[in-house]
Amino acid sequence: MSTASQARALIVDDSLTVRMDLAESFTAAGFHAIPCASVAEARAALAEQVASVIILDVLLPDVDGVEFLKELRATAAWATIPVLMLSSEAEVKDRVRGLQTGADEYVGKPYEVGHVVARARELIRARDPATGNAQEQLTILIIDDSPTFREALRQGLETAGHLVVLAGSGEEGLRLAGERRPGAVLVDGLLPGIDGPSVIRRLRLDVALRGIPCLLLTASQDNGAELQALDAGADAFVRKDEPIPVILARLAAVLRRDSAPITTAASSLGPKKILAVDDSATYLNELASALLTEGYDVVLARSGEEAIELLGVQPVDCILLDIQMPGLGGQETCRRIKTAPVVRDIPLIMLTAIEDRGAMIEGLAVGADDYISKTSEFEVLKARVRAQIRRKQFEDENRRIRAELMRKELETAENRAASELAETRAVLVKELESKNRELEAFSYSVSHDLRAPLRAIDGFSRVLLDEYSQKLDGKAIHYLERVRAGTQHMSTLIDDMLELSRITRAVIRKEGVDLGAIARRIAAGLAERDPSRHVHLDIADELTAFGDASLLAIVLDNLLGNAWKFTSKSPRAEVRFWCEQQAGERVFRVRDNGAGFDMAYAGKLFAPFQRLHRASDFEGTGIGLATVQRVVSRHGGRIWAEAALGQGATFSFTLGDAASGSAHLHHGRQTS
């Protein structure tokens, strides 16, 4: 998005007076204005160049403005362009319809041209705040009623590389400060209307503008003038009879030492929208005229019902509400507004033509923020509006600061908790590793100690069977065979436990591994040990991985051995081993068409000593899959299984960085 000085404003209005008025004002504000009298002209202009903002009238000669807005929002190239709509205040339904269709802003006619330009600039800034801030930092605002002095100072500042905005009165200067967020303000002490010290005080009261450096200029030779300037909050004091280079040097010094952060808060002096609600058209028009002179955009509603409808689509900065209206009265309208979370924080001032203390108390009790008589001068009313907007600004800023502090406190607490958790986890991991080492050492020692009595039991039972079988009856021989089978099973179990302990403690040495070659070697060994069986083996090519060859051989020995074992009762036994790419990682799979298992027990598969089939049907210790899971886990992978009873099982596993195994293996083959 271009900066405001380069922005293009497309102005679509069939009134020549409105078009020219807006075009001149936008051009003076640094925009490239493109006036169009119809939607057809607007389409043609947009076909040539995309606008930065569109000012769109509702009533146009060829197409309804709201319908054209629908077209804009439905066209990709134009959908994000900010649109500010213009229409007569009498047409509340037009305002609601335009905002619901997608207008970013809505300004009623008659409008204050400075407000329209300011709102357009705000909409552009909202699309690219970084660009807007960078632009405004370089802007210097000069507030002086002397055209000659303003021009001389402007030339000096522009020569020094600054952008310059000019104001001839304090009121205009405050409005421009709210709109443009200048990098510094040079303000004359004596001005028509609001004087220089009052301008600075008003800036210092504004959350968004209080950090702007201010230089007070004066032609007075009074020795107390400097004290007055500094008391008002000025950063520096300069006499107007000083040469322009001296004034520029003082400004440069102030800019060098200024370190106030740029705030994103809304300025109370910027463009503001007031909702005025009254059933008297005469009073509404008088009120609107008075507020327009202050630069406010005034939204008019003639009933409480209209006010609530408008608030549903139109954000405002302050509400002026008549207490006595037909239909939904002022107090009930106030109560409904103040109980709605979205709008309850909007300042609300009750208006009444009756001097009734009881009515004032009731109005404040239902949530009104202020209460003023219609007989009061409009200057008093405008001052009350400014005070309420400023109060709301301070409350919003305080909420923002509290939220920021809470966010930082929460981040600090989370970081502290994370640090404490990490320390606790490290201690627990260290303790767990120590306990595991102790347990592994104990298991290894116990396993070795159990071997001697088992060998004795097995040996003596074998002697009895070999040498005394003729003297023993059938039952005794059966018992001895059961003893021998038990000791052999126990011996196998001890061997498996020792293997699991060894695998847990073994150092992993990773290299390129051909899992296909390992699988074929294991299959050949299974066939050699059980020559009576015929199993159809399908082992894919290029089954490469990156890991510890000896440990991965144990994985395949267990998985292929299980597949061989659990297909022993299948009429045509089949075992398949292959690899496939899934979700960015290589997944190895071993599939058989054997006994399978119930998936309800799948969670127990990889725990030690878990058996899903009767020992009389299939031999085993229940350690094999626990061993497989341990090896896969130590490689940074995972393992899972899918099966159905009588329909076989598929075991799938990954190996962490196994995807790189092919490259490692290929490299190994080249250099061998």
**Cα–Cα distance measured from residue 361 to residue 490, given in angstroms and rounded to the nearest whole number:** 92
Query: How far from 313 is each of 105, 204, 316, 515, CA to CA, in Å?
Result: 10, 33, 10, 67
Task: Residue 436: count other Cβ atoms within 10 Å of its Cβ.
Answer: 12
Separation of alpha carbons 432 and 476, rounded Å:
48
Provide the pLDDT for residue 664.
41
Count of alpha carbons within 13 Å of 654, Cβ hemisphere only?
15
More confident residue, 55 or 229: 55
Is the pLDDT assigned to residue 319 strictly greater than 80?
yes
Domain ranges of the chain: 1-131, 273-376, 411-501, 507-671
Q: Cα-flanking dihedrals φ and ψ of residue 15, to 5°? A: -85, 120
Q: Report DSSP state, residue 659.
A: G
CA atoms within 13 A of residue 263's CA, in its CB half-sphere: 18
Give pLDDT tens digits for 602-646: 877 887 766 666 554 556 556 788 888 888 988 889 999 999 988
For domain 411-501, which CATH number applies: 3.40.50, 1.10.1740, 1.10.287, 3.30.479?
Answer: 1.10.287
Indicate the burial class of 435 (C-beta count within 10 angstroms; 0-12, 13-18, 19 or more).
exposed
- Average pLDDT score over residue span 299-324: 89
Fold of 273-376: Rossmann fold (3.40.50)
Q: How far is CA 163 from the centre of its chain?
A: 35
Q: What percent of the chain has pLDDT over 70?
A: 85
Amino acid symbol at 480: L
Q: How many CA atoms lie within 13 A of 660 on its CB side?
A: 6
213 contacts 238 by C-beta, under 8 angstroms = no
Is 667 a residue whose pLDDT tops 50? Answer: no
Distance (Å, whole) CA 652 – CA 642: 8
- The residue-averaged pLDDT of 463-489 equals 80
Integer angstrom CA distances of residue 332 from 323, 338, 360, 448: 9, 10, 14, 89
**Which among 5, 41, 35, 39 is positioned nearest to 17, based on CA atoms?**
35
* pLDDT beyond 80 at 493: no
Cα distance between residue 139 and residue 157, in whole Å: 10
Asked if residue 659 has pLDDT above 80, the reply is no
pLDDT digits (tens, 9 = 90+) for 539-574: 998 899 999 898 899 899 989 999 999 898 888 999
Rounded distance between C-alpha atoms, residue 199 and residue 269, angstroms: 11
CB 333 within 8 A of CB 304: yes
- What 3 state SS string does 160-184 have? CCCEEEEECCHHHHHHHHHHHCCCE
User: d(Cα 204, Cα 206) in Å, to the nearest integer?
Assistant: 5
Total residues belonging to the chain: 672
Measured CA to CA in angstroms, residue 424 lies from 268, 411, 415, 421 at distances of 51, 20, 14, 5
pLDDT class of 4 with cuts at 50, 70, 90: very low
If one compares 423 and 502, the residue with the highest pLDDT of the two is 423
The pLDDT of residue 670 is 30
pLDDT at 142: 93
Domain 507-671 = CATH 3.30.565.10: yes
β-strands 8-12, 32-36 pairing: parallel
d(CA 578, CA 576): 7
pLDDT of residue 136: 43
Residue 202 in this model has a pLDDT that exceeds 90 = no
pLDDT at position 321 over 90: yes
The two tokens of residue 4 are 């405001």
Residue 649's DSSP bridge partners are 592, 643
Select, from the ranges 167-171, 518-522, 656-660, the one with the highest average predicted confidence (pLDDT). Answer: 518-522
Chain mean pLDDT for the chain? 82
Is the pLDDT at 660 greater than 50? The verdict is no
Task: Give the Å distances, CA to CA, from 461 to 60, 451, 458, 466, 586.
Answer: 110, 15, 5, 9, 51
Query: In the prediction, which pLDDT does 657 show?
Result: 60
b (16+ CB within 10 A) / e for 487-500: beebbebbebbbeb
User: How high is the pLDDT of residue 96?
Assistant: 84
220/121 Cα distance (integer angstroms): 37
Residue 535 pLDDT > 50, yes or no? yes
Q: What does residue 220 show for φ and ψ, rounded to 5 degrees? A: -75, 145
The predicted structure's pLDDT at residue 614: 54
pLDDT of res. 50: 86
State the number of CA atoms in the 13 A half-sphere of 39 facing the CB.
Answer: 16
Average pLDDT over residues 178-202: 88
Decide the pairing of beta strands 370-373 and 348-352.
parallel
Residue 374: exposure state from Cβ atoms within 10 A (0-12, 13-18, ≥19): middle
- 411-501 and 507-671 share one CATH topology? no
Q: Assess whether the previous peptide bond of 110 is cis (omega < 30° from 0).
A: yes
CA pair distance 316, 177, nearest whole angstrom: 20
Q: What pLDDT is attached to residue 445?
A: 72
pLDDT in tens, 231-286: 778 888 888 888 888 888 888 878 876 554 445 556 656 678 899 999 998 998 88
- CATH architecture, domain defined by 1-131: 3-Layer(aba) Sandwich (3.40)
Rounded to the nearest 10 degrees, the angle between the axes of helix 170-180 and helix 196-204 is 30
Whether the pLDDT of residue 470 is over 70: the answer is yes
The percentage of residues in the chain with a pLDDT greater than 90, rounded to a whole number, is: 25
263 CB-near residues (< 8 Å, 6+ apart): 207, 208, 211
- Confidence (pLDDT) at 134: 41
Q: Measure the N-to-C terminal CA separation of the chain; round to a whole number of Å.
A: 61
Among candidate residues 94, 54, 107, the one with its CA nearest the CA of residue 78: 54
Give the pairing of strands 184-188 and 214-218: parallel
The beta strand positions in 362-417, using DSSP E, are: 370-373
* Kind of pairing between the strands at 273-277 and 348-352: unpaired
Computed over its alpha carbons, how large is the radius of gyration of the chain?
Answer: 43
Please tell me the predicted confidence (pLDDT) of residue 2: 42
Residues 6 or more apart from 214 whose CB is under 8 A from it?
184, 185, 187, 200, 203, 233, 234, 235
Q: Which of 63-72, 196-205, 207-216, 446-455 has maximum average pLDDT?
A: 63-72
Q: What's the pLDDT at 225?
A: 67
Give the pLDDT of residue 443.
66
Which two structure tokens, joined as six digits, stand for 266? 């809304």
Q: What is the mean pLDDT of residues 403-419?
A: 86
